[in-house]
Amino acid sequence: MQLIDWIHAWAKTAPNRTAYTGEGRSLSYGALWTDAVRLSAALRQFPESRFLLRGGKAPEMVVGMLGCLLAGKTYVPISPELPAARLERILELTTPCKLLTADSSRIPDSILISALLEPLPAAEEPAAPENQPAYIIFTSGSTGTPKGVPISRRNLDHFAKWICGLESMRLPAPARVMNTAAFSFDLSVADLCYSLCSGHSLYAPEKDRVADPAGILDFMGTNRIETVVCTPTFLKLCLLDPGFRAAQLCDLQVVYSCGEPLEKKTAGKLLERFPALRLINAYGPTEATSAVCAVQVTRELLAKHDSLPVGKIDNAACRLSIDRDEIILTGESVFSGYLDGNTQGWYLENGQATFRTGDLGSIEGNYLYCKGRRDRQIKWKGYRIELDEIEQTILSIPGVENCAVIAKKTETDTVRLIKAFVVLQSGNVDLLRSNLIRLLPDYMIPKSITELQEIPTTENGKTDRKRLESL
């Protein structure tokens, strides 16, 4: 069964059940389906096959995604917080495309999604072009330009089937699921697929409402959340509040953690506070449709392993293997190359799409372990960042002669802060920072920018990053 068939089935059998709540408005399965069908009819009238969906957590974003899938078009979710220059760059990279917005912010040449929801007079509908990707998610690119990752409809259907089939995720419908990630990040694909295909109700909090642990607690308590899909960073934030425990949040049953290393300490604390919790550690890159494997973290698992596995081999969504210490993914989860035609890390193995993740890892028994990166990609507060992209962006700013960007890490390899060192020909650090704010999302802006006379180099002329780490 395809993802859209599952949602259609819920629209028919439980039309009044809440499918999604965001920005204070709810959408039932019936209304979601009706709106998405209307939108798809409107989208079919456009010659463009790609639609940028710019918005936060408004229900129109979900209608937009489903409408694109129904029309056989490709959606590209974009955060409204993206700086204008980056949005423009993404528009260029995605062209030919149309920009749809969920709110009425005045972006030139954009169309309000709600304006496309009027029923259209019956017209002959062209068949949906099934070969278009389902979506494209942009992630940080080491060349200095964001990388578009197209995910096919087949990839997406395969993922939906896999996540809904995970035994430890199963709850009787309708369960109340909390979304925490922006739709422009692949973690949100997990909560959307899991919740909407299982007939659950997905709740998305407004960003400022969950900026602190008390706000999160309040949101989870008020909505009687049963499943949370989040990053370990989010869990650590929740754990700062002593009230984050089963006595206060008695409905919470499942936590699906993905996107960055789940430390034993975090997992241990969580199981201590929620003794009956099903805690799942899932792993995967955007290039392999959100996640490819998962493992339930139990007290026994914690006691037995020095570091937590990131998944089980026998119920993975694709074939997991290790080559020269690197995690390799093969099969239906894997994309077919980047939007710009770049196939770095991608190849066919016996006719099957294969991706070299850049993650160092090992397989021990039935478990996959992830042991850091072989390149300069980092995870910072759950966000995937190429330090080279920050470096290239700083270097593109007039007045910058040289630059090096490093990540300071803790003993357990968690990034503590991003630091930039610059050599300036003109201007100053404050000016540079204000330029950067226009070019990069806020999570990519180095916390500290230090001006140096020169960037230290090693004997063979490379940037001496070790030395910079000690500064």
The residues of the shown chain that bind ligand AMP, judged by CB under 6 A, are 139, 186, 258-262, 281-283, 285-286, 310, 357, 359, 370, 373, 379, 384
Dist CA 272 CA 290 (whole Å): 28
Nearer to ligand AMP, 17 or 269 (CB): 269
Positive or negative, the CA dihedral 380, 384, 386, 390 is negative
Q: Least Å distance between CB 185 and ligand AMP?
A: 6
Q: Least Å distance between CB 402 and ligand AMP?
A: 29
Q: Least Å distance between CB 361 and ligand AMP?
A: 9
Nearer to ligand AMP, 186 or 391 (CB): 186
Nearer to ligand AMP, 102 or 190 (CB): 190
Helices (H), 242-382: 264-273, 299-304
Q: Least Å distance between CB 262 and ligand AMP?
A: 6
Q: What is the DSSP string of 126-137?
A: PPP-TTS-SEEE
Nearer to ligand AMP, 21 or 286 (CB): 286
Dist CA 342 CA 353 (whole Å): 14
Q: Least Å distance between CB 283 and ligand AMP?
A: 4
Dist CA 279 CA 246 (whole Å): 13
Find tokens 């030919």 and name the residue: 96
Nearer to ligand AMP, 230 or 403 (CB): 230
Report the candidate in 114, 26, 28 with the shortest Cα–Cα distance to residue 67: 114
Nearer to ligand AMP, 101 or 145 (CB): 145
Please say whether the beta carbons of 40 and 67 come within 8 A. Answer: yes
Report the candidate in 55, 60, 112, 107 with the shortest Cα–Cα distance to residue 79: 55
Q: Least Å distance between CB 382 and ligand AMP?
A: 8
Nearer to ligand AMP, 62 or 385 (CB): 385
Nearer to ligand AMP, 252 or 297 (CB): 297
Dist CA 180 CA 205 (whole Å): 7
Rg over alpha carbons for the chain, rounded to the nearest Å, is 22
Please say whether the beta carbons of 418 and 298 come within 8 A. Answer: no
Report the candidate in 314, 327, 315, 322 with the shortest Cα–Cα distance to residue 288: 327
Q: Which two tokens stand for residue 220?
A: 């989870």
Q: Least Å distance between CB 308 and ligand AMP?
A: 8
Q: Least Å distance between CB 197 and ligand AMP?
A: 20
Please say whether the beta carbons of 366 and 381 come within 8 A. Answer: no
